[in-house]
Structure 1
């Protein structure tokens, strides 16, 4: 049916058939025939369609004849090495395609070699994604050879391909000769310290690469030092990802020295490198002198006890985004971070997920938000803020006019903290996203938040998962949804709303025209509550995502399937 429509259509230029397993091999063959004749389509997404080797081959034949398609996504189709070879052959003849994704297709080294040969001849492809294809060192070498000759490719993703040290060295040599590639992803390829050193040498000579992902490649401190030396001389790289390379304190110190002189990098990821206190301090001290780094990730580096690290951040005048997740920072560091917020006028995003700030650290940060007029995103998940920390943040929300996203998940705010935040929402006019997941707010806190939703006109996303709201809290919220017309996403998972709560929410769905996402998983809705909600869908045209899983609905599964089938939405789960 779809193909018949496509043959008649003469205006369609983009078609997205992502994850439609019904297409399969035969559907792929039919689409290939269509592409041989079509002259309007320029973008086609066939990701996740189980096309197989045969489907890949037929599409390859079509690409030899098609002259209009510029973007093709064949992600996760089990094309295999034979299908890869066929597509490589097509690239030798096709002169229209500029973007191709073959991610996760089991191409292997043979498929990689074929694509490498094709890139030596192709003069139009600019973006190529080969992530998760087990290309191995031989496939990596073939692609490296191609980069020495190809003058069109600007983006290459080789994430997770087991290139090894040899493949890494070959690509490093290619970077010395290539003058067009600007983005290269070598994440998780076991390149090792020797491969890291080779890539470092390449950075001395390469003058076009701007973004390089070397995450999870076992460089160690030696590889880190080599990269650091290269950064002192390279002046074109703007983004470097060295996450999970076990650089250690010494590697961290070397990179810190490099940052003192480098003036081109704007984004640097140091996450999970066992920098320790000394390496972490060296990095942050360097950030005080570097005026170009705007995004830095120092998560998971064991910076516990790093008051000096946090204090050093006060001197940085360029940082716009700071990620200090899971570093064991306590109330002392929290207070110093508060001082940072008062002084740094550029920071817009601060992530302190999974630290130990406590109520005192929370209060200090709240006080800083009275003075800070730039921060828009703040994540304080898992920081043991307690009711007092929650109240302090609630007070500042009554006056702060810049924060748009606040995550307070798992902070034991309790009913008092919940009620205080509810009161703040009645006055705040900028916050659009609030996450209160797992805070034991209870039915009273739920009622207070419901009252706030009747007055607030800016919040679009609210997460109240696991808050013991119960039937009463749930009913109050549903009453509020009858009046609120701005909230589009609501998460009420694990709140024991019961069948009555489900029926109340069903009544809301008949009239609410703003909610597009609703999570009701684990609420003991039962058959009556669940069916009431599903029945309401017949009159609701706005809800796009609904999760009813784990609600004791098994008895009515056939009935639910029938109703949901009519709604024809794959994002409804039960």
Structure 2
């Protein structure tokens, strides 16, 4: 059986090279979506170089591209320093708890940078506008069953004091009560997160899930948030991610 042309090494390499060129010159491209492509290390390095110099990009989706933890670590090198990227979608990317740790480290890095910016603003007797600061606002990590409780704990560690992330999607991530409780503990001090989606994790009991959902709904009760709850992945999407 012949390999589809779009999955060949040459074509994915040419595609990522072209995207790098486009990202380096475009000041209007806001969303980049690559779905189900077999991206190799050299492809991801090219893509990362493009992301690092993109001036207008707000959303990056690599849904169902099996990049694994190592590939995600490569992508995170440019995401963490981006002044414009606000949403990343790594649904079904063959990620484990290590991938969750890579993204959690991005959140910690960005939080430190924004705290410095806020401090500088306060020294000028200005009130910092948190919503205008750069950094991630939504992380979609659905359908990565090996994230598990250790991955949930990695996210929880940086959520407790985070003032910027608005939505974290963790459907079908192999999380049990242990991981859910660490997330619930983080919500005791986090008043910013308005979506923490742990549905489709059957090892989480109903009461714990209800407590988490109620808590984030309380955070978002002031207005109609631009951050919506995503539809549950279909069974077809789940099979794709395996």
Give TM-score scaled by structure 1 length.
Answer: 0.29
Question: Structure 2 residue aligned with 1:491, among 169, 174, 181?
Answer: 169
Q: TM-score, normalised by structure 2?
A: 0.61
**Residue in 1 aligned with 2:139?**
462
What is the distance in 1 between the residues matched to 2:136 and 2:216? 25
> CA–CA distance in 2 between the matches of 1:383 and 1:413?
10
Task: Please state whether the residue corresponding to 1:494 is helix, strand or coil.
Answer: coil
Q: Which whole-Å CA distance do the structure 1 matches of 2:136 and 2:161 have between them? A: 13
Q: Given the superposition, is the C-alpha separation of residues 539 and 375 from structure 1 closer, same or farther in structure 2, using an over 3 Å criterion?
A: closer
Q: Distance in 1 between matches of 2:108 and 2:158?
A: 13
2:37 aligned residue: 355
Q: How does 1:337-486 map to 2 (within 5 A)?
A: 337-414=19-96, 416-428=98-110, 458-465=135-142, 466-486=144-164
- Match in the other structure for 1:514: 192
Structure 1: tracts of 5 or more residues without a match: 1-301, 307-327, 430-455, 550-574
Deviations 1:434-464 (A, max 9, x none): xxxxxxxxxxxxxxxxxxxxxx994332223
> Residues of 2 paired with 1:338 and 1:404: CA distance?
19
- SS of the residue corresponding to residue 367 of structure 1 reads helix
Question: Structure with the greater relative contact order (CA < 8 A, sep ≥ 6): 1 or 2?
Answer: 2
Report how many aligned residue pairs link the two structures.
198
What is the CA deviation profile of residues 185-220 of structure 1, one whole-angstrom value per residue up to 9, with x for unaligned ones? xxxxxxxxxxxxxxxxxxxxxxxxxxxxxxxxxxxx
CA root-mean-square deviation: 4.1
- How far is 1:363 from its partner? 1.1
Identify the residue that residue 542 of structure 1 maps to in structure 2.
Answer: 219
- Corresponding residue SS for 1:524: coil
- Following superposition, the deviation at residue 532 of structure 1 comes to 4.6
- Given that 1:347 and 1:375 are in contact with CA atoms closer than 8 Å, whether structure 2 keeps it comes out as yes
Contact 2:95 2:146 in 1 (8 A): no
Deviation string for 1:542-570 (max 9, x for gaps)?
Answer: 366899x9xxxxxxxxxxxxxxxxxxxxx
Q: Secondary structure at the match of 2:219?
A: coil
Aligned residues of 1:394 and 1:424 also touching (Cα < 8 A): yes
How far residue 399 of structure 1 moved from its aligned partner, in angstroms, is 3.2
Distance 1:358 1:523, change over 3 A: same
